[in-house]
Chain A
Amino acid sequence: MRKSSKFGFLALLLLSLFALVACTNSDSSSSEKDGNEGETEKEVVTTEEGKTVISFWHAMSGAGQTSLDAIVADFNASQDKYEVQAEFQGSYEESLTKLRSVGGTKDAPAITQVFEVGTKYMIDSGFIEPIQNFIDKDKYDLSQLEENILNYYTVDDQLYSMPFNSSTPVMLYNKDAFKAAGLDPEKAPETFSEVIDAAAKLKTDDMKGFSMLTYGWFFEELVATQGGLYVNEENGRAGDATEATFNGPEGLNAFNFLDTMNKAGTFGNFGTNWDDIRAAFQSGKVAMYMDSSAGVKGIIDNAPFEVGAAYIPYADEVKRNGVVIGGASLWMSKGIAEAEQEAAWEFMKYLTTPEIQARWHLETGYFAINPSAYEEQNVKDAWEVTPQLKVTVDQLQSTEPSIATQGALISVFPESRQQIVTALENLYQGMDAQEALDAAAEGTNRAIEIANKTK
């Protein structure tokens, strides 16, 4: 008797648990509905002085965070209606994961910084207010912003988010090593075969010729600069992409380019960590490598030799198309109070002013999204001292606007980048270039398929 009643209780407990688990779905959907119905009673947090308080989630650490905090403080001091609270939420991935749990509710931050490859996800999420609405309402003049940056974030002729920190890849090289190898330090190699030749000449016992961080972004750029597409449906901009195309001829060119140097022993593999490859360059273990334009300033300041900056290489048989913008943009939340959205919009406008952009460019190395920032005196002075910064801007401005350089739009980009990382690692271990690429494409296709199915 006693035993059976014990089991009875246990069974009841298990049963209720199952019920709880199974109910969760319907629960969450109904609570979502409640959230929407409650829209009228959204409360706005204000300070004692009556300023509207909004929170701003960002993923900037190091120099970026210092600079951003100062800019936010200046904005708060510059007017008496709004108070922005900048909150660091970890890496881009981490902050996006956090956003998923509060997105669309009144607890969501008014502004979130999301990395470029999260663009498609954010548009599809329904969490956000397209920034275009405010641009139209406010008759904000978009033409003052950098066209090649706007291109990336414009989808179906709508600007969904406000570009903020943008960067592109550049090739950095050790001018001293160039001199020692008898190469012209003022003229960097431009095409794949030129880089391969230079790498062979630059290689010494201690120094490899060329390196690239094992990171999907650089591969995307090498494909784009040849005019190649990453996925079908016009890089995912004409409709939902269904298939990866990066394993086509352009992708293979890029892989063969790396493979040739790897097999010749002139390629240095320094892994997936930005700091490792930068340390390798600065300690003279590699003569040329690809970095983000946002890192250029730090490298020049710390390297014990003269650093040259050049455009990223491209395949010999095509013409240079240019680069795709990387970095992040700012998204405005939907479902928050109107006053909060107003505050967010004011802050975004403040960020795009030439003075702030000039400061941001100089303090971090990110581009000014407002090119008139480059006319500011402090920028001109800084370029005088470090002309390499200008190279990155020139490369962006000479980019030819096309679907390829607009960049791909898929919601599963983070997963696809991992596939590329694995493919690159396999390539360096001796796997056939096409085989490695195809495996990555297959993995990406499956991710795209699931994403389209569950959308």
Chain B
Amino acid sequence: MTTVTKRRKISYWQRSSNVRTALLYLLPSIILFTVFVFYPMFRTIYLSFFLTDQAGEAAIFVGLENYTYLLESDAFLNSIKATFLFVLYTVPTGIIIALILALLANEKLRGIGFFRTIYASTMGVSVAASSVVWLFLFHPSVGMFNKFLNIFNLPQIEWLLDPTWALFSVSLSTIWLNTGFSFLIILGGLQNIDEYLYESARIDGASYWYRLKRITIPMLSPTLFFIITISLINAFQTFGQIDILTKGGPSQSTNLIVYSIYREAFINYQFGTASAQAVFLFICILIVTILQFKLGEKKVHYQ
């Protein structure tokens, strides 16, 4: 009996040695993740159940009151609506434009490298710098866009001051900004598609559109899936453009959730409600990503 248990003990220690080695290797990343990801995340969840005092420390436990307040507050519901609209405006348009540009730039022509560089160039521009440029373009009295409209005797548009236009204007600058990155990723995907596939299709007499539909898009689907996921998450987390272009106004029409979190936490110093919003945003992104993996991944063709 004793030998059996002894052997079992030894064998457990031995059998778990792989796990221990793995953990040892994982330790650096576990520590880093704990400090910079898990701790802040759990701290956010913890704070979302409290009202905070002037110093931002949890003061009064209110349970789920922060959440119920948010779901009843018109301002927050408006933020959710604005965020979803913003995602809807920017993600599909941005990816379609990037795809078209990538298809164009994938043609083997002389001097195509120049166009590839130009199309990808917005990737090198920071959000802040580009937003300032757009701010001038949208300027109500001396902006380029209004001057341009003026030439054609069209009515002036208050790009960033009219609630019906503001979200569109911010979306416009965001699409421009994000196209470079999407373009580069999609172009990379296109270059990876085996040339033989096209050659045999050409021999079979397939038209350009047929090849696009039957070869390019299916072969590109893992890349497209990746870029859609990334763009969606990015769109949900947009902050810089909003802060510089509109500060959430006019009439809260561009007050996206992340901006609303920032305002609640660092201008109003309400870390409790801000945390509740952050948790809500996290859940939103989680649901969207899960849905995407469940529904979208089926259509993805992995080689």
Q: Which residues of A contact B (CB under 8 A)?
A: 1-2, 5-6, 9, 13, 17-18, 20-22, 24-25, 28, 93, 97, 100, 103, 121, 124-125, 214, 269-272, 276, 279-280, 283, 285, 411-412, 414-415, 418, 421-422, 425-426, 428-429, 443, 447, 450-451, 453-455
Among A2, A103, A421, A450, which residue has the most Cβ atoms of chain B within 10 A?
A450
Q: What's the nearest-Cβ distance from chain B to residue A414, in Å?
A: 5
Chain A contacts for B252, CB-based, 8 A: 422, 425
The answer on a CB contact under 8 Å between B54 and A2 is: no
Among B54, B58, B270, which residue has the most Cβ atoms of chain A within 10 A?
B54
Please classify the interface of chain A as helix (H, G, I), strand (E, B), loop, or mixed, using the class held by over half of its residues.
helix
Q: Can you name 6 A-B residue pairings with CB atoms under 8 Å?
A: A20-B42, A21-B46, A279-B142, A415-B267, A421-B249, A454-B52
The answer on a CB contact under 8 Å between A1 and B16 is: yes
Task: Enumerate the 5 nearest inter-chain pairs by beta-carbon distance, A residue then B residue, closest first.
Answer: A454-B59, A415-B268, A285-B141, A280-B141, A425-B251
Chain A contacts for B266, CB-based, 8 A: 93, 97
Q: Give bound CA distance, A271 to B18, whole Å.
A: 63
Chain B contacts for A1, CB-based, 8 A: 12, 15-16
The answer on a CB contact under 8 Å between B54 and A270 is: no
Among B16, B59, B140, which residue has its beta carbon within 8 angstroms of that of A5?
A: B16
Chain B contacts for A93, CB-based, 8 A: 266-267
Q: What's the nearest-Cβ distance from chain A to residue B81, in Å?
A: 16
What per-residue 1/0 map shows which CB atoms of B252-272 lie under 8 Å from chain A? 100000000001001111100
The answer on a CB contact under 8 Å between A28 and B57 is: yes
The answer on a CB contact under 8 Å between B141 and A272 is: no
Q: Give bound CA distance, A139 to B142, whole Å.
A: 54
Closest to A29 in B: B57
Among A9, A20, A414, A454, which residue has its beta carbon within 8 angstroms of that of B268?
A: A414
Q: A21-B43, A125-B54 are in contact. Are A5 and B34 (CB under 8 A)?
A: no
The answer on a CB contact under 8 Å between A279 and B59 is: no
Q: Give bound CA distance, A22 to B49, whole Å.
A: 12
Chain A contacts for B249, CB-based, 8 A: 214, 271-272, 421-422, 425
Q: Give bound CA distance, A392 to B62, whole Å.
A: 48
Q: Which residues of B contact A (CB under 8 A)?
A: 12, 15-16, 18-19, 23, 30, 34, 38-39, 42-43, 46, 51-60, 75, 139-142, 158, 160-161, 163, 247, 249-252, 263, 266-270
Q: What's the nearest-Cβ distance from chain B to residue A4, in Å?
A: 10
Q: What's the nearest-Cβ distance from chain B to residue A226, in Å?
A: 26
The answer on a CB contact under 8 Å between B163 and A100 is: no
Q: Give bound CA distance, A341 to B301, whole Å.
A: 69
The answer on a CB contact under 8 Å between B39 and A429 is: no
Chain A contacts for B161, CB-based, 8 A: 269-271
Chain B contacts for A280, CB-based, 8 A: 140-141
Chain B contacts for A451, CB-based, 8 A: 54
Q: Give bound CA distance, A24 to B58, whole Å.
A: 10
Q: What's the nearest-Cβ distance from chain A to residue B109, in Å?
A: 44
Q: Give bound CA distance, A236 to B284, whole Å.
A: 41
Closest to A208 in B: B141
Chain B contacts for A270, CB-based, 8 A: 140-141, 161
Q: What's the nearest-Cβ distance from chain A to residue B300, in Å?
A: 29
Q: Give bound CA distance, A421 to B161, whole Å.
A: 12
Chain A contacts for B23, CB-based, 8 A: 9
Q: A20-B39, A283-B142, A285-B141 are in contact. Are A271 and B250 (CB under 8 A)?
A: yes
Among B39, B51, B161, B163, which residue has the most Cβ atoms of chain A within 10 A?
B161
Q: Give bound CA distance, A25 to B247, whole Å.
A: 33
Q: A100-B55, A276-B139 are in contact. Are A414 and B163 (CB under 8 A)?
A: no
The answer on a CB contact under 8 Å between B38 and A124 is: no
Closest to B30 in A: A13
Closest to A421 in B: B249
- Having A214-B249, A425-B163, one finds 15 other A-B pairs with CB under 8 Å, namely A1-B16, A2-B15, A2-B18, A9-B19, A17-B42, A18-B42, A97-B266, A121-B54, A270-B140, A276-B140, A283-B142, A412-B268, A429-B251, A447-B270, A454-B59
Q: A100-B55, A121-B54 are in contact. Are A450 and B270 (CB under 8 A)?
A: yes
Chain A contacts for B57, CB-based, 8 A: 25, 28
Chain A contacts for B34, CB-based, 8 A: 13, 17
Q: Give bound CA distance, A429 to B165, whole Å.
A: 13
The answer on a CB contact under 8 Å between B251 and A426 is: yes
Q: Give bound CA distance, A1 to B9, whole Å.
A: 12
The answer on a CB contact under 8 Å between B141 and A21 is: no
Chain A contacts for B251, CB-based, 8 A: 422, 425-426, 429
Q: Give bound CA distance, A337 to B209, whole Å.
A: 77
Q: What's the nearest-Cβ distance from chain A to residue B66, in Å?
A: 11
Q: What's the nearest-Cβ distance from chain A to residue B282, in Å?
A: 16
Chain B contacts for A415, CB-based, 8 A: 267-268, 270
Closest to A286 in B: B141
Among B12, B19, B39, B142, which residue has its beta carbon within 8 angstroms of that of A17?
A: B39
